[in-house]
Amino acid sequence: MAPQPSDDPNDPLNFAFNKKLRIFVITGLGTCIWGATLGPLLNASLADISVQLQIPFTDAVIASGYQPLAVGCSIMPVNALARRWGKRPVFLVSGLLGIIGSAIGAAAANYHMLVAARLVQGLSGAAYESLALSMIGDLYFVHERGFYMSIMTFLLASVSNFGSILCGPITTHLGWKYLFNFLILFGGLQTLLQFLFVPETQFRRDHKYDIDETGKVEIEDVNAAPTGKELEPQVSVERLLAREPASALFGSSGVFTTLPVAFCLIMGGYFLSLYVIVAYLLAQFFSPPPYLFNASEVGYLFAGPFIGGLLASTVLSLVSDPIVKWCVRKNKGVYEPEYRLLLCPVGLVSVAGFIAWGYVVQQQGSYILAAFLHGMGLFGITFVLVTTSNYMLDSYRSMSSEIFLASMCVKNFLI
């Protein structure tokens, strides 16, 4: 198996299946709430917000856009804290910040309070947008990662659309501030579950066990390797900054010096930011005449990309790992991370989908066709994100936290 698990029962690779599943499900729930829902939380409500706060529509969009800006700016401290303390405390602090930001949003009476809420919420998103992906490398072997990576990418890219489907009717019937109230309720429950049932998954094992990174390794060398140790929390600020402070803070920026990683980050960030920008524009295009959609109807338009992302994730979860295993057999048992990229060209579907979507909206055509083309765009984007994420995780697992944090940074700054 790759990587080779150590003899330590604290090694996450040795966790029982049920324990791994519990960790994955609870962290996946956090990804839905703090990673996927926060960004598009107000997309269907922007027209209502501009009217109630008496601000231009563009200012409402800008206020909502402060959330991804805060996510991008928080990459360095999240990277440093995750490397020194482990992923568990970072997830917990992120959940608490999300609850605080939601409380500010629920009490927002003016534009500045709304901006403050989005900024604080943004600080909670970085961990669940990036560390949740690298956690898959902590828990699962190479031949298992494709399935779980497809699910996690679906949660990040597609569940945001399902959230918008729910947020629209909530805004219409209860008001947009109730969106923050529901976040406090469900986010608080998830953070409690994360505290009670999710242990630390970051684990230091001897490098000889990492045969998914080192290539061919003699079995006797692996058996002779010392047992790894669970990451011990470093709770003082002095200890946090005493050892390699520059590496801890700026490690994520160093991944851009690796050409394959830089290419995957820029390509994935570009495609995902293209989708998010279209999501921000839906209310602006479909609220005025001739459509005159209210918040609920704008929210229902996100059914198209949700279905597109669901279909893509289903296909990838079924064929990703089998294709890799077939390639390994054809290559006489030798695994190459590049096998993960074989499905990446399907992403070209998204280019056609978004070009056609722009044409239909410009001509004020069928909203059903526009929703279908939006879904077509996310179908292709999901292929790009899953294949490149799997490739980077398999090729550079020791840098996976930094890589996915950098990916999150590129996407949010492009937005």
pLDDT digits (tens, 9 = 90+) for 2-34: 677 777 778 888 999 999 999 999 999 999 999
CATH code, domain with 118: 1.20.1250.20
Q: How many CB atoms lie within 10 A of CB 55?
A: 16
Q: Which of 75-89, 237-251, 283-297, 375-389 bottoms out in mean pLDDT, i.e. has the lowest?
A: 237-251
Instruction: List the one residue out of 102, 51, 37 whose CA is nearest residue 295.
Output: 51
**Whether residue 245 has pLDDT greater than 60:** no
pLDDT digits (tens, 9 = 90+) for 147-197: 888 888 888 877 888 888 889 899 999 999 999 999 999 999 999 999 999
What pLDDT was estimated at residue 234?
Answer: 41
What pLDDT was estimated at residue 187?
Answer: 96
Total residues found in the chain within this entry: 415
pLDDT digits (tens, 9 = 90+) for 83-137: 888 899 999 999 999 999 999 999 999 999 999 999 999 988 888 988 888 898 8
Q: Is residue 44 part of a domain?
A: yes
Rounded to a whole number, what is the largest CA-CA distance in the chain?
72
Q: Which amino acid is it at 300?
A: Y
Distance of CA 325 to the CA centre of its chain: 26
Domain count, the chain: 1
Q: Which two tokens stand for residue 377?
A: 């765009």
CA 264 – CA 305 distance, rounded (Å): 23
Is the separation of the CB atoms in 320 and 147 below 8 Å?
yes
Q: Is residue 85 part of a domain?
A: yes
pLDDT digits (tens, 9 = 90+) for 331-346: 988 888 899 899 999 9
pLDDT digits (tens, 9 = 90+) for 35-60: 889 888 888 888 889 999 999 988 99
CB neighbours of 185 closer than 8 A, spacing ≥ 6? none
Is the separation of the CB atoms in 251 and 83 below 8 Å?
yes
CA 3 – CA 205 distance, rounded (Å): 10
Q: Is residue 5 part of a domain?
A: no
Task: Select the more confidently predicted residue: 415 or 228.
Answer: 415
**Whether residue 328 has pLDDT greater than 60:** yes
Boundaries of domain holding 106: 12-414
Q: Is residue 189 part of a domain?
A: yes
What pLDDT was estimated at residue 207?
Answer: 58
What pLDDT was estimated at residue 224?
Answer: 45
CB neighbours of 375 closer than 8 A, spacing ≥ 6? 304, 305, 306, 307, 308, 309, 353
Q: pTM for the complete prediction?
A: 0.76
* Cis peptide bond N-terminal to 12, omega within 30: no
pLDDT digits (tens, 9 = 90+) for 210-244: 555 544 444 444 444 444 444 444 443 344 344 45
Give me the helix-helix angle, 367-395 and 303-330, nearest 10°: 30
Q: Is residue 6 part of a domain?
A: no
Distances (CA, A) of 160 to 12, 33, 44, 83, 299: 29, 9, 12, 28, 11
Task: Select the more confidently predicted residue: 215 or 410.
Answer: 410
pLDDT digits (tens, 9 = 90+) for 141-160: 877 888 888 888 888 877 88
Task: Select the more confidently predicted residue: 246 or 266.
Answer: 266
Q: Is residue 1 part of a domain?
A: no
**Looking up tokens 């061919």, which residue turns up?**
216
Q: Is residue 7 part of a domain?
A: no
Q: First-to-last CA distance in the chain?
A: 40
Helix ranges, 198-258 (H): 211-214, 219-224, 237-242, 245-254
Instruction: List the one residue out of 312, 308, 284 whose CA is nearest residue 298.
Output: 284
Q: Is residue 223 part of a domain?
A: yes
pLDDT digits (tens, 9 = 90+) for 262-313: 888 888 888 877 887 888 788 888 988 899 998 889 889 999 999 999 999 8
